[in-house]
Chains A and B, each alone.
Chain A
């Protein structure tokens, strides 16, 4: 063993050195962990052991200009669980399930998750919260969250906008000022505990959120209510495609009210069609302004001195520009008249003449200065810019038609903002919706001053234009907008709707009125626009001007603007007696009531219903009778029971209907459609009035529509008051 012992000893020494090296390595490693990385690791450990759950802040309120509450947030408690503190998940789940109307099994799954925090139910109604609190269950806690609440959910919904599931602003001011309204989220901090034992000094802390700021708008709740009321009346009377009313304070550019139809309910926006809530027509809808645009032609012409109010014009009923005839709305023309009369009569040839005198460059300079062709910069998402023909490409014909408000598209807010510049003495203001942002304590965080953009007219020129517009209301086409006790300035407009093909669509108009009052010191500037009114009346003077009168009169009285007694009154309300074309009564027998109403309305006729039911049994006068436009047709309704059992039906007259409409009418009567051709129904077999068994097919021949652009001149330039 001596020799072997020596060898072994050396080998054992080598192993021992290795062991010592390992010992030193381990020591070094431990020291490194503790001293070099100790702080970092401990920080990491804390981070890992705690969990942050964000708690959304209470969203700020929205007030009108007088501090009236428009939108607020109400508290709603949300329930969360800290699973390891839930001692008996099965029992808790069973107790909670009926109160929350949730599946007990699903609840139990949530309560037994290996986590330190779980939402159980968000934003519960107070009654449910009370019930759960009474159950006194361990491991369950409440935290305050909020839901948007609208005291008047149908008031200015397009302007205010609404919020999504996480209380984030989705549209309108809620979207634009989301950052200010949202506030700073709070937190629930929970320390993880892997074993379920109480951690020494365990954290379960609630860091409250900071509420969002409040918005104070320029809107006036009362005036907005006037607007909503008038819009409802418009819908009841004309069932238009769109209707917009905007009121502004011309001195500051503050928007006092802005309403649209169709509209929606802020609390139930999800049930409204998307096209209704995702766009605000007041700032987005591009339309041909028609005569209302003449305000700016007139302003440019007077400023540039190309005409004076006393200058004489002669209107033979048309004016020839290039090779086209532009007709006046009045048959036979207005004859010899002063410029003031041109304005009062809204005479097309007169304005075309003035526009041509101005020339392209000056005309474009003015309308661009008035803000046309670019967004106004209002604090709302989705604003359109309007459409101007490229100045370089514009022809004399374009210039002529633009002078009377055609071949140009504007948005309602653009037109009104430009009119405000005329009203306030010539300065274009940026339309403003928000006056102030306040913190929850009521301190003003930011306040927005009126923002003049540029001077467009001199005060004298502006006054001259305003005086002419007063004449329009006092003596001209705008008489229906006259308000007792106030000098009102304004202009009517009736433009045809431009179809997709570029030509005008017959029977579809945009009726509008824009104006301000009192003319000498305007407090309110308003626009009423009704797109595609039904029922045969479509003139701005008849559809829009009375609405303007109602809403502006109420606004002025509400604003306590003193009335001036003894002002001139218009001799009589303006009624334009168009040579009333006789209308042929369409056949609506056997039509469902809705369809019958629609058909009659489109033909310019009213409907009076007699009896109960859904289908028209008889009509008076009968189809084919020539009656005056606006006459009401009496509809006798069938007893639906009789009709559904009846096996033989009367074939309706389908003339003029589209394929879809014809199919709708026929299928509602249990008949089949056999269509041939495209366009509008021009002939059918069997003939209207034939009695056929239910289930039979009706062959209908469709022919392309004779649109004005296809048949006659490209555009029929007819401007009406």
Chain B
């Protein structure tokens, strides 16, 4: 049974990848005809290579009998191809670098699925993750470089690395391991605070310390986006692990208190909120970016201006945090909705993996990784459309940025590993 399911699911994957390839080919043709760039043949070669890397991975998985979810790779391929198309359209130089990172990402995915398929072993090293995460966050404070107001990059000569992107994954691994071990203790609770039973600080401790340290560190780096992601992911995993809504409520209150505190403590936070409330008052300075983003979103209409026909260059940092605004301008509300649905499907497939996994670590990890993926997309899109105050976060697989891309591919690999085991342990059929 696994074999036949496997065979069928891999063929679904192949078919979907071919659709994604056709999509990439169409986009490339549009840009080619539009006359972007100077060496169009290398562009075609690049597009072909990007597609080939995905299809090769697929064939490798088929050959090895890998049982991972067949929908995840095509969805990610769709996002990655869109990223390449839009970056090329915005500035070919970005596309070239992103192309290189995409190959590194796909290779990482291959490595994770090939070398660490037994993810259960990962649960044993949770304190190593905590330690590694703290060090990774500490490094930029001492020897990092500042970009776009956040001091969260390390200069490695050839390229910059943003450790906080990788720490996200480490945080999920640590929380999953810790919660799996202490789940029952934590969900019971043995002393009461404000009418809520809480577990003893000894049981909480390590987890809160890890979270606190990471939050403090990102505050030092002025990386509000990462802090928000960490906290939201933490709350989601605590909920999944303990089923105690009260914890989530308490956490949310803590978060609001922290947000209010930082509003009064930090000028840059206050400025963000002011811009969110009324960007027009600060149109020449801090409000310029969000205003331009809104202009781009508004000019898209239902079907967009068409690839290459809009003017998203007005938005500062359009290739990183604001790529969604560019996509909406040129692909319209229809295109924007399509990508929202793609992210929704990724989260949905991830949750299915979580539900189907037979061990607690795998289940929590899958839930955490999916939540992490969904939250990143949600927070930055909400920021770009001024639904929430803006915090700088990369849109997974779409934004320009190697660290984010590679970290998200590793995330994908871990998720696929869990789903591989679901498949082979026969715990449940996918998509029930």
A-to-B contact residues, CB < 8 Å: 1, 4-5, 7-12, 14-16, 19-20, 22-23, 25-27, 29-31, 33-34, 37-38, 41-42, 44-45, 48-49, 194-195, 197, 199-200
Contact = CB atoms under 8 A, between A and B. Distances in A.
A49 B313 CA distance: 12
Nearest to B379: A22
Q: Which 6 A-B pairs have the closest CB atoms?
A: A41-B298, A45-B295, A1-B358, A195-B313, A38-B298, A12-B351
Nearest to A45: B295
Nearest to B310: A200
A15 B344 CA distance: 12
B360 A4 contact: yes
A34 B295 CA distance: 9
Given A15-B351, A38-B301, A26 B385 contact: yes
A38 B304 CA distance: 13
Interface string B398-430: 000000000000000000000000000001100
Contact of B302 (A10, A22, A34, A197): A34
A8 B387 contact: no
Given A30-B385, A33-B385, A45 B378 contact: no
A199 B311 contact: yes
Contacts of A197: 313
Given A33-B297, A200-B311, A1 B359 contact: yes
B350 to A, nearest CB: 9
Given A19-B347, A45-B299, A8 B240 contact: yes
A20 B344 contact: yes
Interface string B7-46: 0000000000000000000000000000000000000000
A30 B297 contact: yes
Given A19-B374, A29-B387, A8 B300 contact: no
B298 A34 contact: yes
28 contacts: A1-B358, A4-B360, A5-B355, A15-B236, A15-B240, A15-B351, A19-B374, A20-B344, A22-B374, A22-B382, A23-B341, A25-B382, A26-B385, A29-B386, A30-B385, A33-B385, A38-B299, A41-B295, A41-B299, A42-B299, A44-B280, A45-B298, A45-B299, A48-B291, A194-B314, A194-B316, A197-B313, A200-B311
A34 B283 contact: no
B84 interface: no
B240 A12 contact: yes
Contacts of B259: none
A22 B344 CA distance: 10
Query: Chain B interface secondary structure, helix, strand, loop or mixed?
Result: helix
B333 A31 contact: yes
A4 B187 CA distance: 13
Interface string B286-322: 0000011011011111100000000101101000000
A45 B337 CA distance: 24
B376 to A, nearest CB: 12
B363 interface: yes
A537 to B, nearest CB: 70
B131 to A, nearest CB: 29
Contacts of A33: 294, 297-298, 385
Q: B360, B371, B385 — which one has the most chain A CB atoms within 10 A of its CB?
A: B385
A195 B312 CA distance: 10
B283 A48 contact: yes
A16 B378 contact: no
Interface in B94-136: none
A12 B387 CA distance: 25
Contacts of A25: 382, 387
B243 A41 contact: no
Contact of A7 (B243, B298, B340, B374): B243
A199 B374 CA distance: 36
A33 B294 CA distance: 7
A11 to B, nearest CB: 5
Contacts of B55: none
Given A8-B363, A9-B355, A200-B311, A30 B333 contact: yes
Nearest to A199: B311
Contacts of A10: 243
Contacts of A48: 283, 291, 295
A297 B137 CA distance: 103
A1 B426 CA distance: 12
Interface in B192-223: none
A26 B381 contact: yes
B347 A34 contact: no
Given A5-B355, A20-B344, A38-B299, 20 more contacts: A8-B240, A10-B243, A12-B354, A15-B236, A15-B371, A16-B351, A19-B344, A22-B374, A26-B340, A29-B386, A33-B297, A34-B300, A34-B301, A44-B280, A45-B292, A45-B295, A48-B283, A194-B313, A195-B313, A195-B314
B328 interface: yes
Contacts of B359: 1
A11 B239 contact: yes
A7 B316 CA distance: 45
B327 to A, nearest CB: 11
A27 B145 CA distance: 36
A48 B314 CA distance: 11
Contacts of B292: 45
B150 to A, nearest CB: 22
Interface in B355-398: 355-360, 363, 367, 371, 374, 378, 381-382, 385-387
A16 B295 contact: no
B73 interface: no
Contacts of B351: 12, 15-16
B336 interface: yes
